[in-house]
Copies of this chain bind each other. A is one copy, B any other.
Amino acid sequence: MAPWLTDWRGRFTGEAMAIASPASTEEVSALVKLCARHRVPIVAQGGNTGMCGGATPDGSGRSILLSLRRMNTIRRLDPEAREAVCEAGVILQTLHEAAETEGLRFPLTLGGKGSATIGGLVSTNAGGTQVLRHGSMRAQVLGVEAVLANGSVFNALTVLKKDNRGFDLKQLLIGSEGTLGIVTAATLKLLPAIGERRVVWAGVPSLAGARALLLHCQDVAGNALEGFEVMPQQTLHDVVAHLPNAREPLAEPHAWHALIELVAERGETDRLGELAERMLASAFEAGLLEDAVIASNERQADDFWLLRDSIAPAEREKGPAVQHDISVPVDRMPEFVEVAVPQLEAHWPGTEALAFGHLGDGNVHFHVIAPPGVEPLEWMTGDGKKISAEVYELVTAWHGSISAEHGIGQLKLDELVRLGDPVQLAMMRAVKQALDPHELLNPGKLVPLAPAAGSH
């Protein structure tokens, strides 16, 4: 069992009574009924590549670890309806490949696509770099099948574009991290495959300038705008130093850099080249750009994206860091970063704070790198923890979220209890108790069960 009792980042290790790997919804249902009868907690697990320890059991050894990986069938892929019914254990990349063979695509991707499963992505409402245009996992889910705490099967896989027969219960299961039910399958939306793309690298004088550029791109390119990622100059510098043979896309340094992707669906009249040119020309004219370059071929486009995707490893070279997956209202993100970065660096001398990521979603990855020479573990569990608390307090004061993409799991439960809105926490508890009265589904994750003493 060992490989499944520790999360992939090695932060959490638990114990389990047994691991069960059922091959069908009926088997999951039978297992849950058995567990319910004997009051055995159940921790569901997909690819075991979550970010918050949501799929790792606690240390009591009382739980069953329920792996969905054997439920890995794409039950149906309907090119005409543009829908796929995937079992929970289907790996994201497998779905990508299956869609591609039909001239379609599934418009959600992320670093862990080779291991992340559909069940895990649904249960955590996963994000990625395409949320700007297509939304998170929730927006891709048309139907859900799940086994509830008493073993009954919630079957809402059939897609009805309109259905007003009561509460939209599948919405409750999406993002609930296995605490309300165990997702066994989902019906997912597919889109026509991409016909062409244009990738742009742009230099701007500030993060506020990056946001102005984003608004301009949305105005000009509309639905063609698929991605808009940002990073500061120092981060780009570190990435280029880290990658062999890499170079900065622009001749001069700029305070901030934006990576912009435009796409057109297969079959659309070729207009992307003209659109990209027009978008940049009018941006220059409006003073929104210092410099920009359009990737001249697919290879260069991939190189641009590699710079973005290498931020995490490049940063790791610089030392230990506390990482925060946070969001604030989109229009306030530049201001937030401008306030938070110097504040954190001033409070914690020697640290380096950096923000990069999905500006268009109001979601940045906000990392604080330790001062040189500290003992990593000691720093992470000491100052690092205090720094995180300060970041989350700041985010909360700005009406933002302490978890934009990654969920709560066990990693952030304390902070959710401390900083969450008491009305919403109480509602969550009430719903949890109603649907899982014996607290058998993924206990200790996501839902703050004890009333938050002293919460504000």
Residue on B with the closest CB to A360?
A: B161
A168: Cβ under 8 A from any B Cβ = yes
Flag A130-171 by CB within 8 Å of B: 1 or 0 each.
010000101000000000100011111011111111111101
A402: Cβ under 8 A from any B Cβ = yes
Inter-chain contact A180/B160, CB cutoff 8 Å:
no
The contact size tier of chain A is: 35 or more
Centre residue among A152, A162, A164, A222 by max chain B CB count within 10 A: A164
Query: CA separation between A234 and B246, bound complex, in Å?
Result: 69
Inter-chain contact A163/B404, CB cutoff 8 Å:
yes
A431: Cβ under 8 A from any B Cβ = yes
Residue on B with the closest CB to A361?
A: B161
Inter-chain contact A161/B427, CB cutoff 8 Å:
no
Inter-chain contact A164/B421, CB cutoff 8 Å:
no
Inter-chain contact A421/B162, CB cutoff 8 Å:
no
Known contacts A402-B165, A431-B431, A329 near B447 by CB under 8 Å: no
Inter-chain contact B361/A154, CB cutoff 8 Å:
no
Inter-chain contact A363/B430, CB cutoff 8 Å:
no
Report the minimum CB–CB distance from A202 to chain B (whole Å): 20
Known contacts A165-B408, A423-B148, A331 near B81 by CB under 8 Å: yes
**Closest 7 pairs (CB-CB, A-B):** A434-B434, A171-B171, A162-B404, A163-B401, A430-B434, A161-B361, A162-B363
Could you pull out 12 A-B pairs where Cβ atoms are within 8 angstroms? A152-B423, A156-B424, A159-B330, A160-B327, A160-B329, A162-B363, A163-B403, A164-B175, A164-B405, A166-B446, A167-B428, A172-B431
Give the B-binding residues of A (Cβ under 8 A). Answer: 78, 80-81, 124-125, 127, 131, 136, 138, 148, 152-156, 158-169, 171-172, 174-176, 180, 192, 215, 219, 222-223, 265, 267-268, 327-331, 358, 360-363, 399-408, 416, 420-421, 423-424, 426-428, 430-431, 433-435, 446-447
